[in-house]
Structure 1
Amino acid sequence: MDFEAMDPEPTDEQVERYRLLAGDHAAGVGVVCSRHRGKDHAATVTAFADVSYDPPTMLVCLYDMGRICEAVETSGVWTLSLLNSSQRSVANWLASPGNPVDGLLDSVPFHRTEASGTPVLDGSLAWFELATVSVHTAATHQVFVGKMTAMGRAEGSGNADAPLVHFAKEYRSLR
């Protein structure tokens, strides 16, 4: 068995090795959206989890220097759309650094939630609207815990059996 102790202050090589090993975890792919200063913000995420069924609660981890982090923190309301395997191009677009704020979702079909008007991606497997109940700092990220305010399946979500997953630094489908 391979063993490598981590230095208290990890070297660049150790960080890279960690990224490689952590990439062997298959994760669902989603998009977090929020509104801030009258503009839509969105980013692809793989670090999210269902926390509790009673009351329905989820969490998402966002890079603390990203625009989406500021938008979610400021608005206190966000959506998570779970992507299907045909939405790989959407995942790539919204994961690209330096995307424009204006027109970010112009090429992405979406509709708005009734309560907050936050974007939900059309064709997603499922979507959730959440109100932030707590925020925790974890290294370079903020962990947002949210209580469910609305949920559903997006129109045209016929690919419920074909989720988009991230594994070994690539998007993949289960088929």
Structure 2
Amino acid sequence: MELADSLEVNRVFPQVPTRDQIDEYRRLSAEHASGVAVISTVLRNRDHAATVSAYLSVSYDPPTLLVSLYAESRIALAVAESKSWALSLLTAEQKAAANWLASPGTPIEGLLSQIDFRRGPATGNAVIAGALAFFEVETTAIHEAATHMLVVGKVVSMGEDASWTRDLSPLIHYGGDYRRLRP
């Protein structure tokens, strides 16, 4: 029996995917482990921030990043208008910050009041203290993709805040939950 014969063959989508196919896509996509980060920006003297796991390095030369944001979210609208943002890659010990900034209905006022952060040197956007790495980015392009915005930008500042130890682990999103790498 061939491998293809042993797999369930229900992968071809109609013109518009069904709710079951969307749910199956979400389940299968959760099999991808990804790092967890916080994206932040300042718009009209107000901090905006959210947890993200859909980001990637586009290019090393010049340093370029991409982040995927739900197009109707406050953070997407703020990032699109502000034209700059910071991305802080979280450690496993920063799970509480990730949970807080991923929670629906977080307040606009005082959003970062319970999170230790500092201002990035190039953009003034919030950089999460103790992050594995941070990048300050100026937006160069925004692309619509289904329900999301793909925001591309050039890195204008970067660094690290976490002191390396043997037990240091990035915060990972896998299987619909946050996890850590085992040392």
TM-score class, shorter-chain normalisation, is: over 0.9
**Residues 97 and 13 of structure 1: is their aligned pair in 2 closer, same or farther, counting only changes over 3 Å?**
same
Contact 1:126 1:152 in 2 (8 A): yes
| Matched residue, 1:12 | 19
TM-superposed deviation, 1:128: 0.1
TM-superposed deviation, 1:157: 4.0
Q: Secondary structure at the match of 1:94?
A: helix
CA distance in 2, matches of 1:57, 1:161: 26
After superposition, the C-alpha distances for 1:57-112 in whole angstroms (9 at most, x for unaligned) are: 00000000011011111110000000000011111110011110100000000000
Q: Which of 142, 149, 159 matches 1:152?
A: 159
| Matched residue, 2:142 | 135
Contact 1:122 1:157 in 2 (8 A): no
Q: Secondary structure at the match of 1:8?
A: coil
**TM-score relative to the length of structure 1:** 0.96
Q: Secondary structure at the match of 2:107?
A: coil
1:50 aligns with 2:57: yes
TM-superposed deviation, 1:117: 1.1
| Matched residue, 2:80 | 73
When Rg is computed on C-alpha atoms for both structures, the one with the higher figure is 2
* Pairing 1:91-106 to 2, within 5 Å after superposition: 91-106=98-113
**Residues 60 and 7 of structure 1: is their aligned pair in 2 closer, same or farther, counting only changes over 3 Å?**
same
TM-superposed deviation, 1:115: 2.4
Q: Secondary structure at the match of 1:120?
A: strand
After superposition, the C-alpha distances for 1:93-150 in whole angstroms (9 at most, x for unaligned) are: 1001111010000000000012221100001100000000000000000000010100
Q: Which of 105, 109, 126 matches 1:119?
A: 126
**TM-score relative to the length of structure 2:** 0.92
Q: Please, which runs of 5 or more residues in structure 2 have no aligned partner?
A: 1-6
| Matched residue, 1:110 | 117
The count of corresponding residues between Structure 1 and Structure 2 is 174
TM-superposed deviation, 1:161: 3.9
The sequence identity of aligned pairs, in percent, is 47
Counterpart residue identity of residue 60, structure 1: V
| Matched residue, 1:89 | 96
Instruction: Give the alignment's Cα RMSD to 1 decimal.
Output: 1.2
TM-superposed deviation, 1:41: 0.4
Q: Please, which runs of 5 or more residues in structure 1 have no aligned partner?
A: none
